[in-house]
Amino acid sequence: MNFAVLQFPASNCDQDAVHVLRNVLGHSARLLWHKETSLGNADAVIVPGGFSYGDYLRTGAIARFSPVMQAVQAFAAKGGPVLGICNGFQILCEAGLLPGALIRNRSLQFRCEHVFVKAATANSPFTSQIPDGKVLRIPIAHGEGCYFADAETIARLKAQNQILWQYADAQGELTDVANPNGSVENIAGICNESRNVAGLMPHPERASEGLLGSADGRLIFESLIHALESKSVAKAA
């Protein structure tokens, strides 16, 4: 498969995503500069983590106006899969591709640590390969990862099964101490209504090799690859 990994000024997990897709999972992946207006032959888009534009003003606020994001909008509208990780999640929310917003962690501090994450549903191109009940161990690294949306939106997310990942404890319980940032409903990641755009704060690309302590994050990429290969998501080209 061909992955396009977007590169904004001060993206800094872009190379990590390419590394995992290319060297660990054996697919083709290339960096796509934010001034580009076309996604080329991409089968899927990864919006990587980092501090696009220094996170100045608001996380993701400036990046979403990049030329490349217009192409992403069009790609997503045609059903092409888009996955935002950390800053990428923030950018997708700012761009309106995902509902809600990510605000300052409840602790007011940046947090980098492993957390446990549970898939709330297998019904998405990003979670289908995660075994039922499996608790993933994946790191987070963010200062503004507290997911917020108004009550109506949350109700809709729940009703439509759009909550994909939630912070949990080792047993899979959605406890308050397991929640590293104060997100409503322990939300770690969500998808849009058509289920082809998703974002999450944890970094699956940092948990895709045993030598880094966990390979659980691969399940998320493998779900996406599975979906692409079985053509259960549109090939928007």
Partner 1 sequence: MSDPAITPALIKQHGLTPEEYERIQGILGREPNYTELGIFSVMWSEHCSYKNSRPLLKTFPTKSPKILVGAGEENAGIIDIGDGLAIAFKIESHNHPSAVEPFQGAATGVGGIIRDIFTMGARPVCSIDSLRFGELTSPEVRRLFSGVVAGIAHYGNCFGIPTVAGEVYFDKSYEGNPLVNAFCLGVLRHEQIARGAAKGIGNPVFYVGPATGRDGLAGAAFASQDLTEESAEQQRGAVQVGDPFMEKLVMEACLELLATDAVAGIQDMGAAGLTCSTCETAARAGTGIEIDLAKVPQRAPNMTPYEIMLSESQERMLIIVHKGREAEVKRIFDKWDLPWAEVGTVTDTGRMMVKNRGELVADIPAKKLADEAPIYQREAREPEYLKAVRAFTLAGVADTQDAAGNLKTLLGWPTIASKNWVYRQYDHMVRDGSVVCPGSDAAVIRIKADSLPQDGEGKSATVDKYIAMKVDCNAVYVYLDPYEGAKTVVAEAARNLACSGATPLGSTDNLNYGNPHNPEIFWQLRESVRGLAEACRAFNAPVTGGNVSLYNQNPNGPIDPTPTVAMVGLIDKLEHVTTQWFKDEGDAILLLGDVVDRNDPMLGLGGSAYLQRVHALKTGTPPRCDLDREKELHLALRSLIYSGVVKSAHDCSDGGLAVALAECCISQQIARETPRLLGAEIDLSAFTGVRLDALLFGETQSRVVISVSAVQAAKVLAQAKILGVPAAVLGKTGGTALNIKANEGTLSCDLRELHDLWWNAIARAMA
Partner 2 sequence: MKAKIIITPKKAVLDPQGKTVQNALEHMGYGGISAVHVGKYLEIEVSGDKETVRKQIDEACHKFLSNPVIEDYKFELD
Task: Confirm or reject binding of residue 110 to partner 2 (CB under 8 A).
Answer: no
Residues in 174-233 that interact with partner 1 by CB under 8 A: 177-178, 180, 203, 205-206, 209, 211-213
Active site (annotated) includes residue 193: no
Task: Confirm or reject binding of residue 182 to partner 2 (CB under 8 A).
Answer: yes
Task: Confirm or reject binding of residue 30 to partner 2 (CB under 8 A).
Answer: no
Q: Which does 109 bind (CB under 5 to 8 A by kind): partner 2, partner 1, none?
A: partner 1
Q: Give the C-alpha separation, 88 to 50, whole Å.
A: 8
Q: Which does 15 bind (CB under 5 to 8 A by kind): partner 2, partner 1, none?
A: partner 1
Task: Confirm or reject binding of residue 40 to partner 1 (CB under 8 A).
Answer: no
Per-residue binding string, partner 1, 80-119, x by CB under 8 A, is: -----------------------------xxxxxxxx---
Per-residue binding string, partner 2, 141-160, x by CB under 8 A, is: -----x-xxxx---------
Angular region, 15: left φ>0, alpha ψ -120 to 50, beta rest: alpha
Range in contact with partner 2 (rule: CB under 8 A) among 49-57, 77-85, 207-215, 218-226: 49-57
| CB proximity list for 224: less than 8 A, separation 6 or greater | 44, 81, 83, 125, 126
Which residues contact partner 1 (rule: CB under 8 A)?
9-10, 12-13, 15-16, 18-20, 23, 30-31, 49-51, 53-56, 109-116, 137, 139, 141, 143, 169-170, 177-178, 180, 203, 205-206, 209, 211-213
Residues marked as catalytic? 86, 203, 205
